[in-house]
Structure 1
């Protein structure tokens, strides 16, 4: 599953600035980075005892939607709630390469253009039924059936033979997904039109990495799935825990899945419940939760708390500023050459005017830092270190606007055609620092003569914000948001012509060409692929339709009596099987 998630100002990512900034740090880009190297990625290893209850803080200022199916959920918040039971089919190593240690084995045959997935015997749903080939196949039906309105039906998945015909209603089955031992067997063979270099990595987007319980869902029409009890109230999973109680939008209680294939999980009970990000530090200091994310702007308040271990990682994510230059129409992004923000100088000027340097220092104690490109540094040689991004430069911003014909009339500039220019900015609500940070950027833009106003006059709640962005609301010209990324570096599913997630709606010949080359047959050659990634980052930086802003250390406070908690990719799938109280 391409694990692209929409992030709230707090989602999987803490730190106000992640959803809200653009650029400014120069020499001290890594000031925060060096600071945080003192954080371990996992809790100290100790012997685990059986039993105990764990409480987990879900930091959000809005109730969770509670859609517990991988193909229907879009928010990182719902994924966080489901993590205790929602195991994926594959384990990975620390570089996210798929291995055969997980619930299913994986085999790629480049010549036959197939991927074979075999679920291990004994991998069972929490109601005791074996996970079957049909459960793996049904995941594709949910994703591709028009009735389910899944956001996950992407251009990349349409590389599967017969998927488009099924989606368009021309076929009742997906011809390219074969179950050689029948529906109740455990083997699935997926046929592709062409093989892709990213297929060996988890999160590649060309095939799904999860399964859905066919025996539970088969009688529910696709258009009723999202609102069904099976998805909202009593979903079943094959991970270590199962749901025993849901308080809608507020909390979920998990108990062990006695059929879990790896063995018996350690805890008797896990409760995940909503806490407002503004009360997060208080909750950590008073030990109200065993596991709680630190809001970076509150780091000073919690860092000396006794009885907790702080673990951290730099998540695969980034904040960005996006400029609306088109609309989503008939399954594709359609660019409008006359769009207000379809002027490169205007976009670049807004990026240069942002004083991120000062913002990260003041509000996040160096735990957030500017990111220069749309490919994170964790992707190693795919990251283009020569792309410097937009560091704070008001002089350059003014020059760009002057040269592009945005003349000043009084305080503000007008459009090159002489008409007034008002830019509507959509920004998300979240923790208490988001308001001052947003106001700060609006002031910065005023300094270069741009009249930027908040869409709706205030910060917008997470669900309403994405509703506006996805539906290309007329009152949004610019927006600040964040991605949580897949663990395969290809940006195809975020920025191509048919990507619903390409929220700016920009489409250019050059972008289409570069995205295609990055994931082509030639790209099985690593050096060629790296070169194309570098070229794309340079191109995107120059065009500035999407300007990357910041990333932040994601720090978690863990009760020091807890052991087995880890943020390493290789521990991800089996994490909750291992977590427990130390003896």
Structure 2
């Protein structure tokens, strides 16, 4: 099927799916869906670029309107179709929703600037020895836990001792920790302490790393203490399930947890002793908002803002009169991952399986060739998500290789690759068998979410069918967030491929997602060349920015060649904020903090 013909087929498929969704909805949602569907009619292909938006047209900082009042309550919507898990401690959490809950009451000891470099403006400062390996951290005197106890160097050391402990059940232990002198001996049970970590006094901690690396000042230092006076008597294996994590979490951030309805909402009160200064707000209420009602919640003033706004709904709501839309290039991308092995928990590394169903790189490359992500971004997301090419996103412009085009949409090339690889249609039914002539069914795990989740997944399934591949949704349905990641993380043998999303850290180093010893390496891909490039990217030579750029360009190309996963869409984050809100911003480098948020009146402004 030629490209023009296939693009029309894609648009027709979207039309059918979106009309189906509209028939199941009602009110404003129905109108919005019908408007989207009308815009995808194949007769308008020449004007398909109309109605697209650019993230460059948005600001990260909200305009202040009116005069702020003293105190008040602020309501934050966590957009999700499922409950947040409730692992409310930075040392143990794994999901993005829990991180949103955490951010209001706890924070890192170090802050960073717009270039993701640690500054001296956080709750702690740091000095680096001439060898680039030894860091001395000093916690400021007025930094206290919510119960009034000081945040100490022992708390910071204790976090490392817990994460490095053999019984630790969280996802943090990896290359950032094994780079600390003595950590691996401690992790193996050969030492009772970590030789590279020294408590100098109550507020001063010294950490010596094995290798000096530019990543040490851009994100690979663990900056979250763990309250030893609370967790110190617990068994490490019991910490993540304790009430101190689930029901009564503590931090040193601008707000304190007052009450929790598990998975649904959190009420915070202001921390008058916050180290930056007393917060303006008296209270923050966080509650889960289903993606299907987020527009109504914003229009009615049920919430002041949300963590993320479904960008597919932006065109129909761009003129919402009671909010201002902020936007930025998100530190995230969506992707298709291929299951290529298993996680060996005892060895702490991935074990590739050369016999895995998706082991043939030509099969993986054909599946990338088969999908038209540029049109997906335009038709589903109106230009606020766009075709992704490499696994380092443009949120890190210094290292994103904009010259690398990835794998182009080309179904004819996909068909040729599959033919050459031996995936042939043996019985003439239009569906390819495997190399031995047996039926080939590829099981696809994808998450539920907003009203685009189903049609997007069905588009990919249809695109792969067009090149003769029988791809089926896992269990015949979308998986809710927690179930999806539980099964992907557990290497459920029923999953062959999956559609996920990564929120990447401030450090460009991709080792935490694609390294051999990274628990988050859900594809379970590893190779010697991957090991080499990831190591070179954080080597002493990588202090030379041009050298590091070259290494990461090589790594991006390796991922394009090997394809353990392929990126589908880069993302814009679009966030509406009620007009009564002052001092609100999104993203990095704005020098605005949560304690500064204020409101001009008691209740949100309704449209």
Partner Cα separation in structure 2 for residue 405 and residue 63 of structure 1: 44
Are residue 384 (structure 1) and residue 404 (structure 2) matched? no
1:529 pairs with 540, 545, 548, which one? Answer: 548
Which residue of structure 2 aligns with residue 576 of structure 1?
A: 594
C-alpha displacement at 1:191, in angstroms? 1.2
Which residue of structure 1 aligns with residue 258 of structure 2?
A: 244
Which residue of structure 2 aligns with residue 482 of structure 1?
A: 501
Which residue of structure 1 aligns with residue 432 of structure 2?
A: 413
Give the paired residue count. 549
Asked if the contact 2:373/2:388 (under 8 Å) is kept, the reply is: no
Asked if the contact 1:492/1:515 (under 8 Å) is kept, the reply is: yes
Mapping of 1:7-86 within 5 angstroms? 35-45=54-64, 48-86=68-106
Mapping of 1:298-337 within 5 angstroms? 298-329=313-344, 330-337=347-354
Partner Cα separation in structure 1 for residue 323 and residue 195 of structure 2: 53
C-alpha displacement at 1:32, in angstroms? 9.3
1:267 pairs with 281, 292, 306, which one? Answer: 281
Q: Structure 1's 571 and 167: CA in aligned 2 closer, same or farther, altered over 3 A? A: farther
Which residue of structure 2 aligns with residue 279 of structure 1?
A: 293
1:94 pairs with 114, 119, 130, which one? Answer: 114
C-alpha displacement at 1:571, in angstroms? 4.2
TM-score, length basis structure 1: 0.91
Partner Cα separation in structure 2 for residue 146 and residue 251 of structure 1: 33
C-alpha displacement at 1:140, in angstroms? 0.8
Partner Cα separation in structure 2 for residue 40 and residue 30 of structure 1: 23
Which residue of structure 1 aligns with residue 392 of structure 2?
A: 375
Which residue of structure 1 aligns with residue 8 of structure 2?
A: none
C-alpha displacement at 1:31, in angstroms? 9.4
3-state SS of paired residue (2:233): coil
Are residue 176 (structure 1) and residue 228 (structure 2) matched? no
Root-mean-square deviation (Å)? 1.9
Partner Cα separation in structure 2 for residue 92 and residue 556 of structure 1: 22
Partner Cα separation in structure 1 for residue 305 and residue 395 of structure 2: 25
1:131 pairs with 151, 163, 166, which one? Answer: 151
2:270 pairs with 231, 252, 256, which one? Answer: 256
3-state SS of paired residue (1:301): helix
Partner Cα separation in structure 2 for residue 121 and residue 222 of structure 1: 28
Moved more, 109-118 or 263-272: 109-118
C-alpha displacement at 1:103, in angstroms? 0.5
Q: Which has the larger radius of gyration?
A: 2
Partner Cα separation in structure 1 for residue 569 and residue 431 of structure 2: 28
C-alpha displacement at 1:299, in angstroms? 1.4
Q: Structure 1's 548 and 502: CA in aligned 2 closer, same or farther, altered over 3 A? A: same
3-state SS of paired residue (1:249): coil
C-alpha displacement at 1:277, in angstroms? 0.9
1:463 pairs with 482, 507, 517, which one? Answer: 482
Which residue of structure 2 aligns with residue 341 of structure 1?
A: 358
Which residue of structure 1 aligns with residue 567 of structure 2?
A: 548
3-state SS of paired residue (1:466): helix
Moved more, 243-252 or 561-570: 561-570
Are residue 167 (structure 1) and residue 182 (structure 2) matched? no
Which residue of structure 2 aligns with residue 153 of structure 1?
A: 173
Unaligned runs of 5+ in 1: 1-27
Partner Cα separation in structure 1 for residue 176 and residue 250 of structure 2: 28
TM-score, length basis structure 2: 0.87
Partner Cα separation in structure 1 for residue 394 and residue 313 of structure 2: 26
Asked if the contact 1:42/1:568 (under 8 Å) is kept, the reply is: no
Unaligned runs of 5+ in 2: 1-46, 602-607
C-alpha displacement at 1:278, in angstroms? 1.1
Query: Higher RCO, 1 or 2 (CA under 8 Å, sep at least 6)?
Result: 1
C-alpha displacement at 1:112, in angstroms? 6.5
Are residue 196 (structure 1) and residue 216 (structure 2) matched? no
3-state SS of paired residue (1:536): helix
C-alpha displacement at 1:189, in angstroms? 0.1
3-state SS of paired residue (1:577): helix
C-alpha displacement at 1:495, in angstroms? 0.9
Mapping of 1:493-532 within 5 angstroms? 493-532=512-551
